[in-house]
Amino acid sequence: MIKNRNIKKDLEQLDSILKEQGISRRDAMKMMGLGGAAFLAGGTEVEAATTLKASDAKGKILIIGGGLAGMSTAARLTSNLSNPDITVIEPEAESVSYQPGQTLVGGGIWPKSDIVYKRDEFTPDGVKVIKEKAIKFDPDNNTVTTDKGTKVSYDYLIIAAGVTLNYGAIKGLEEAGEAYSSGDNKKLVSILDSVGACSIFSADGSEATWTHIQKLAADAKSGKKLKALFTHPNTPIKCGGAPKKIMFLANSRLEEAGVRDNVEMHFYPNGGNMFGVKEYHNALSEQFKVRDFKHSYKHNLIAIDGKNKIATFNHHWTEKVLGMKI
């Protein structure tokens, strides 16, 4: 049964296997991000590259974004081309190597350092890095201009800048605006903290989430009856399972502290089920019953009143009027 799984023991077993191979967990996460298929097959990125046939294709290649997508693309092109001319534009010195690990950081299982890698340590040989931010595209003249005025020309352009998270769309968080998963998100964390909220969709936010969970347990231990809300928005997100995953991890921490009965845990997903796949929906619904989790479907968070600790949701549904759906 899922409830009886011991996450710490599972991770200790994984660490033991990695140790036999002379690999740290942190390096394994990097390899999973930069060369996951090769790593899972039992080889390294370098070993995988030896099977590729070099191409004599020529041209200046410009990659916008030096996170996992940008650097793995640069690495693959470096392996495939006999004489590559590749430039990456990336202002951030660090990136997240394993974003699913952010929930484990939020649950207090891993430190943030386990999911962060330094850009320069994984830049392929021969690839040039411009440590600036791309702000202007001129496709008619095949150029990109950075925030520092550097103009870069190209023959081929690859955009791998990642997606932004729009926290500012929620009333009460307008000042937070948009943010990336990696980079310095201290301002975002500070704004979320000010309204009693946290988010596992950034590395810094995951660290803050663990702080919030510990405070929740401490307050519950004092005898307070508390409510913890977990949400899944109406927009696309990076992992549909993450909002539920952090809820399960928080539950485990509260159980370990012996204070679970003092905290009502409520999940507010925008959709009408736990998961799009029926079998997964059924399994998750059963686990919600086992753990006494409450849930309210078709609710989307639209506002947070930090002063009064009130979250406002848009509760939506479909009605049939005169034979028409509205």
- Concatenating the DSSP letter of every residue in 245-271 gives HHHHHHHHHHHHTT-GGGEEEEEEESS
With beta carbons less than 8 A apart as the criterion, state whether 181 and 162 touch. Answer: yes
Arch. (CATH architecture) of 2-40+54-159: 3-Layer(bba) Sandwich (3.50)
With beta carbons less than 8 A apart as the criterion, state whether 139 and 97 touch. Answer: no
| Cβ atoms within 10 Å, residue 282 | 13
| Tens-place pLDDT, residues 199-238 | 999 999 999 999 999 999 999 999 999 999 999 999 888 8
pTM score, two decimals?
A: 0.78
pLDDT < 50: residue spans in the chain: 1-2, 34-52
Per-residue pLDDT at 26: 61
Alpha carbon distances (Å) from 211 to 26, 77, 189, 196, 202 = 22, 41, 11, 11, 14
| Tens-place pLDDT, residues 31-55 | 555 444 344 334 444 444 444 456 7
Give the torsion through C-alpha atoms of 204, 205, 206, 212, to 10 deg: 120
* CATH 3.50.50.60 intervals, the chain: 2-40+54-159
With beta carbons less than 8 A apart as the criterion, state whether 326 and 319 touch. Answer: yes
With beta carbons less than 8 A apart as the criterion, state whether 102 and 111 touch. Answer: no
Give the torsion through C-alpha atoms of 251, 237, 104, 218, to 10 deg: -40
Per-residue pLDDT at 256: 96
Structure tokens given for 300? 């989307």
User: Three-state DSSP class for 304?
Assistant: strand
CATH code for the domain defined by 165-317: 3.50.50
